[in-house]
């Protein structure tokens, strides 16, 4: 039997499972079908780029989790999960992308074989990868079960990070610092955007301080000039220009743990408006950080941030942050609380979020954002990158 | 008004829409809700990393497609779609990852505002990003509509590529050739895997022959030794070793068009079994390629490939290929036909697929795979990388 290379102790996985079961019990859920790749990894260690086919981790009323997926990916499960091989179940390749046969028919058989076919089953209803067809197929194949929406149930267990998780995020933070340093060092007017992104990727994957870089759940977002008024454009081969701002929304990643951080680069003397926006963002972030401490609500940070921003003549309609940690594409957020008004999530030591005060201007944007850890007494920025508009040339 | 940087002529988008409408009519579908990011891009030009929130393109009974998504991503739509701005609709940020409000409630209002609320509506039921919750929310909000599973409907329209699409795929093929050349040049025993992957990414994004590299829909898969018996593991910082094989399943990408190609690298003299596997794969691929021509079925390639492989003492349970072209994470396949027995899809000139004869061995794998174009008379390998086990040292 292969010994898997686990990122955490078996004890840590067991603690996570116990915590999840407690939350299942509170919701009256006996069996949980987990399709979010980050939740699958958090509960079992499973790691592989196989979420483009149907797969799940099933946590029944008793026992360890079961890994279920395409048979060939069962080999990857054997090499990455903490459970013994009799907890790994693969379906035949004929189920793959075949309109005649849905893999969830096979999962239903597995659930029934455990005797769980008549239990109250929780599903991650709004998770990427749990499609409408998967839902209909599973419900049809288990007529004796009753169903609950367990979307976010495991995500919420992940909110407070363990010591080892924080260690991985600190390593990721050093990697993103290096990525921003690489941008400052190598970006020049006239350089093609994709050549700069190639440098960013090289820095990201080679890692920092002896710790290797993993792939980010969102590719580098790096729009320039007016393109930067749109938040989620990627790149092409347009040349960097004097008199134009480019924002870099990027993350360092170590063992799937993310530290996102953004900076904005300007070639030449930034216009007054950019300097005013920079000052407003920094002052508003400081006001928000003062509210980032155990016992406060998530909204307290947003209210302090937004009121300071408004006082200085700027507005931001969208949320100014979200939780981060372990993730898989297409999102590095944990999708639980948000830093926005009316979010009464109570902050606790060990929570980590991306403080994301992006400011959209008519003709571009300013992004100076940070990965933040809630400590026993307040909050810590995991990065030391200078918090300012980066100006070159 | 911003002029978007379109990758194709408006006429090409109009042709795609007409082709899609014909297929909708054949299925009795009046309104199509498209959530697959590749299908959204193919019909409108939309490009952005925003598929982590709910979004769609709606093609009604008449008129141009409507883009719908998060309000801030409407700015990205304005910069990338061919339609005028009155075809772009954004929902408010409060709908984002909020268990109390599902964005599909907003989409239902948009459909109703067009007068399409009582039509027969097609949904991509098994698409990533069309979740169970999205389905239930939309169906509830449009009680007068009837529903059809339109999964794959647009994907099938994409199977035969246009001249411009083939041009982009040829550029992507040159990029993946360069990526494999970079592996051969820079890999050495003792090198950390992530340092090699950093080089691969740098080659991928800087591009080739003056054409820029885009991000791949699957990250480099690069397992070594026994890890290579599992198909979808990514990388860590383990050192490359003499006497061990590593396969590199990677793609060159230009403007979201993919050319995947795999090679296997061995340090030192490969064991007899690897040489036998190499010979078997190459002979079986040649037999498959001889059947790759217009008028034949997809299964003809698989049958020729598998029977040759079996004759030489090897077996492969899984499909040996799938269509490729435009794509977004998490998959670079088009999810229509497969190269496997019983797939009676008729091959046509302009079809493109990844001929994927990966051979899983007990203690590793051999991957020598190619991006293939069906021509008027047969098939063309888009790459010139030597088709062999790469041996170094």
Instruction: From first to last of the 393 residues of chain A, give the pLDDT tens digit.
Output: 467 889 999 999 999 999 999 999 999 999 999 999 999 999 999 999 999 999 999 999 999 999 999 999 999 999 999 999 999 999 998 898 888 899 999 999 999 999 999 999 999 999 999 999 999 999 999 999 999 999 999 999 999 999 999 999 999 999 999 999 999 999 999 999 999 999 999 999 999 999 999 999 999 999 998 888 888 999 999 999 999 999 999 999 999 999 999 999 999 999 999 999 999 999 999 999 999 999 999 999 999 999 999 999 999 888 999 999 999 999 999 999 999 999 999 999 999 999 999 888 878 889 999 999 999 999 999 999 999 999 997
Given a contact cutoff of 8 angstroms between Cβ atoms, the answer to whether A348 and A381 are in contact is no
List of chain B residues whose C-beta atoms are within 8 Å of the C-beta of residue A71: 317
DSSP-assigned letters across all residues of B243-306: T-EEEEEEEEEETTEEEEEEEEEEESSPPHHHHHHHHHHHHHHHHHHHT-STTSBHHHHHHHHH
Candidate from B93, B99, B218 with C-beta closest to A152: B99
Given a contact cutoff of 8 angstroms between Cβ atoms, the answer to whether A218 and A176 are in contact is no
DSSP-assigned letters across all residues of A91-155: E-GGGTT-TT--HHHHHHHHHHHTT-TTSEEEE-TT-TT-BHHHHHHHHHH-TT-EEEE-TTHHH
First to last CA, chain A: 58
Would the CA dihedral through A129, B355, B259, B360 be positive or negative?
positive
Residue whose structure tokens are 């590199």? B248
Given a contact cutoff of 8 angstroms between Cβ atoms, the answer to whether A306 and A316 are in contact is yes
Q: What is the pLDDT of residues B21-48, one digit of tens each?
A: 999 999 999 999 999 999 999 999 999 9
List of chain B residues whose C-beta atoms are within 8 Å of the C-beta of residue A198: 201-206, 213
Contact between chains at A47 and B214 (C-beta distance less than 8 A): no
List of chain B residues whose C-beta atoms are within 8 Å of the C-beta of residue A51: 330
Q: How many CB atoms lie within 10 A of CB A238?
A: 17
HSE of B89, CA atoms in CB hemisphere, 13 A: 20
| Cα Rg of chain A (Å, integer) | 22
Would the CA dihedral through B251, B252, B258, B264 be positive or negative?
negative
d(CA B37, CA B50) in angstroms, rounded, equals: 9
Q: What is the pLDDT of residues B88-120, one digit of tens each?
A: 999 998 898 888 899 999 999 999 999 999 999
d(CA B393, CA B389) in angstroms, rounded, equals: 13
**Closest chain B residue to the Cα of A131, Cα to Cα:** B131
List of chain A residues whose C-beta atoms are within 8 Å of the C-beta of residue B211: 237
Helix (H) or strand (E) holding A360: strand A359-361
Q: Which of B35, B306, B330 to mutate to test the interface with A (most CBs of A within 10 A)?
A: B330
> What burial class does residue A271 get, using C-beta atoms within 10 Å of its C-beta: 0-12 exposed, 13-18 middle, 19+ buried?
middle
Q: What is the pLDDT of residue B98?
A: 84
Q: Which of A232, A249, A361 to mutate to test the interface with B (most CBs of B within 10 A)?
A: A232
Candidate from A80, A237, A329 with C-beta closest to B212: A237
**B2 or A209, which is more confident:** A209
List of chain B residues whose C-beta atoms are within 8 Å of the C-beta of residue A127: 131
Give the per-residue SS3 of A19-52.
Answer: HHHHHHHHCCCCEEEECCHHHHHHHHCCCCCCCC
pLDDT category of residue B2 using cuts at 50, 70 and 90: low
Helix, strand counts (H, E) of chain A: 10, 15
CATH 1.10.10.60 fits B163-392, yes or no: no
3-state SS, residue B208: strand
d(CA A368, CA A388) in angstroms, rounded, equals: 7
Q: What is the pLDDT of residue B362?
A: 78
Cα B137 to chain centroid, rounded: 28
Shortest distance between the Cα of B297 and any Cα of chain A, in A, equals 17
d(CA A208, CA B2) in angstroms, rounded, equals: 40
d(CA A81, CA A48) in angstroms, rounded, equals: 11
Residue whose structure tokens are 């036998």? B276
Contact between chains at B47 and A197 (C-beta distance less than 8 A): no
Under 8 Å CB pairs connecting chains A and B tally to: 234
Contact between chains at B75 and A229 (C-beta distance less than 8 A): yes
Listed in sequence order, the residues at least 6 apart from A21 whose beta carbon sits closer than 8 Å to its beta carbon are A59
Q: What is the pLDDT of residue A112?
A: 98
DSSP-assigned letters across all residues of B20-59: HHHHHHHTT-SEEEE--HHHHHHHH----S-TTS--EEEE
**Closest chain B residue to the Cα of A216, Cα to Cα:** B219
Evaluate if residue B1 carries a pLDDT over 70. no
d(CA A92, CA B212) in angstroms, rounded, equals: 39
The CATH code of domain B10-157 reads 3.40.350.10
Contact between chains at A219 and B215 (C-beta distance less than 8 A): yes
Given a contact cutoff of 8 angstroms between Cβ atoms, the answer to whether A59 and A34 are in contact is yes
Candidate from A72, A78, A226 with C-beta closest to B2: A226
Contact between chains at A132 and B135 (C-beta distance less than 8 A): yes
Contact between chains at A215 and B194 (C-beta distance less than 8 A): no
Shortest distance between the Cα of A84 and any Cα of chain B, in A, equals 17
Shortest distance between the Cα of B125 and any Cα of chain A, in A, equals 5
Q: Parse chain A into domains and list their residue ranges.
A: 10-157, 163-392
Strands of the sheet containing B321-323, edge to edge, are B321-323, B352-355, B370-374, B379-381
List of chain A residues whose C-beta atoms are within 8 Å of the C-beta of residue B255: 236
Candidate from B195, B206, B340 with C-beta closest to A194: B206
Give the residue from B248, B245, B302 showing the smallest Cα distance to B277.
B245
Given a contact cutoff of 8 angstroms between Cβ atoms, the answer to whether A263 and A248 are in contact is yes
Contact between chains at B233 and A48 (C-beta distance less than 8 A): yes
- Please give the torsion angle defined by the CA atoms of residues A96, A99, A103 and A106, in that order, rounded to the nearest 10 degrees: -120
Helix, strand counts (H, E) of chain B: 10, 15
| ipTM exceeding 0.85, yes/no | yes
pLDDT category of residue B9 using cuts at 50, 70 and 90: very high
Shortest distance between the Cα of B23 and any Cα of chain A, in A, equals 17
Q: What is the pLDDT of residue B318?
A: 84
Spell B97-120 as b/e; 16+ CB within 10 A means b: beeeebbbebbbeebeebebbebb
3-state SS, residue A378: coil
What's the whole-number mean pLDDT along residues B264-286?
95
3-state SS, residue A391: strand
Contact between chains at B51 and A149 (C-beta distance less than 8 A): no
List of chain A residues whose C-beta atoms are within 8 Å of the C-beta of residue B334: none
Contact between chains at A128 and B126 (C-beta distance less than 8 A): no
Q: Which of B74, B98, B178, B230 to mutate to test the interface with A (most CBs of A within 10 A)?
A: B230
Check residue B103 and report its DSSP letter.
Answer: H
Contact between chains at A128 and B125 (C-beta distance less than 8 A): no
Q: What is the pTM of this model?
A: 0.97
List of chain B residues whose C-beta atoms are within 8 Å of the C-beta of residue A230: 48, 72-73, 75-76, 78-79
Candidate from A50, A130, A212 with C-beta closest to B236: A212
**Closest chain A residue to the Cα of B78, Cα to Cα:** A230
Given a contact cutoff of 8 angstroms between Cβ atoms, the answer to whether A309 and A195 are in contact is no
Q: What is the pLDDT of residue A2?
A: 61
Contact between chains at A149 and B130 (C-beta distance less than 8 A): no
Structure tokens at A265: 């680069």
First to last CA, chain B: 58
> What burial class does residue A204 get, using C-beta atoms within 10 Å of its C-beta: 0-12 exposed, 13-18 middle, 19+ buried?
buried
Q: Which of A38, A49, A192 to mutate to test the interface with B (most CBs of B within 10 A)?
A: A49
Shortest distance between the Cα of A229 and any Cα of chain B, in A, equals 7
What's the whole-number mean pLDDT along residues B361-372?
90
Candidate from A198, A218, A221 with C-beta closest to B202: A198
Q: Strand pairing partners for B361?
A: B364
- Please give the torsion angle defined by the CA atoms of residues B379, B383, B386 and B389, in that order, rounded to the nearest 10 degrees: -90
Give the residue from A130, A337, A187 showing the smallest Cα distance to B125.
A130
HSE of B264, CA atoms in CB hemisphere, 13 A: 31
Q: Strand pairing partners for A58?
A: A33, A66
Q: Which of B54, B70, B107, B232 to mutate to test the interface with A (most CBs of A within 10 A)?
A: B232
d(CA B341, CA B339) in angstroms, rounded, equals: 7
Q: What are phi and psi of A250, to 5 degrees?
A: -140, 165
């Amino acid at each position: 039997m292969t010994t898997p290379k686990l990122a955490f102790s078996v004890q840590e996985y067991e603690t996570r499972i116990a915590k999840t079961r407690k939350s299942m019990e509170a919701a009256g859920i006996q069996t949980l079908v987990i399709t979010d790749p980050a939740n699958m990894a958090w509960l079992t260690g499973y790691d592989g780029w196989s979420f483009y086919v149907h797969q799940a981790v099933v946590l029944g009323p008793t026992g360890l989790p079961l890994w279920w997926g395409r048979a060939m990916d069962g080999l990857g499960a054997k090499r990455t999960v903490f459970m013994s091989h009799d907890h790994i179940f693969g379906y035949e390749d004929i189920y793959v992308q075949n309109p005649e046969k849905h893999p969830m028919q096979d999962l239903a058989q597995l659930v029934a074989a455990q005797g769980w076919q008549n239990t109250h089953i929780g599903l991650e209803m709004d998770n990427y990868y749990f499609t409408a067809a998967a839902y209909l197929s599973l419900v049809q194949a288990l007529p004796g079960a009753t169903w609950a929406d367990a979307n976010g149930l495991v995500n919420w267990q992940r909110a407070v990070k363990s010591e080892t998780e924080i260690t991985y995020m600190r390593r990721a933070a050093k990697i993103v610092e290096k990525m921003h340093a690489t941008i400052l060092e190598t970006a020049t007017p006239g350089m093609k955007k994709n050549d700069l992104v190639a440098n960013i990727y090289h820095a990201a994957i080679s890692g920092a301080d002896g710790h290797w870089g993993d792939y980010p759940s969102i590719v580098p977002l790096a729009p320039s000039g007016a393109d930067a008024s749109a938040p989620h454009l990627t790149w092409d081969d347009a040349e960097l220009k004097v008199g134009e701002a480019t924002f870099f929304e990027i993350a360092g990643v170590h063992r799937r743990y993310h530290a996102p951080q953004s900076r904005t680069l300007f070639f030449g003397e930034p216009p007054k408006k950019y300097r005013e926006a920079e000052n407003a963002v920094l002052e508003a972030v400081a006001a928000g950080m003062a509210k980032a401490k155990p016992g406060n609500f998530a909204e307290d940070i947003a209210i302090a941030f937004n009121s300071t921003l408004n006082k200085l003549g700027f507005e931001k309609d969208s949320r100014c942050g979200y939780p981060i940690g372990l993730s898989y594409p297409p999102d590095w957020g944990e999708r639980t609380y948000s830093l926005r008004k009316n979010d009464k999530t109570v902050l606790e030591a060990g929570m980590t979020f991306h403080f994301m005060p992006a400011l959209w201007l008519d003709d571009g944007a300013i992004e100076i954002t940070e990965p933040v850890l809630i400590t026993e007494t307040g909050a810590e920025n995991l990065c030391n990158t200078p918090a300012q508009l980066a100006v070159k040339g």
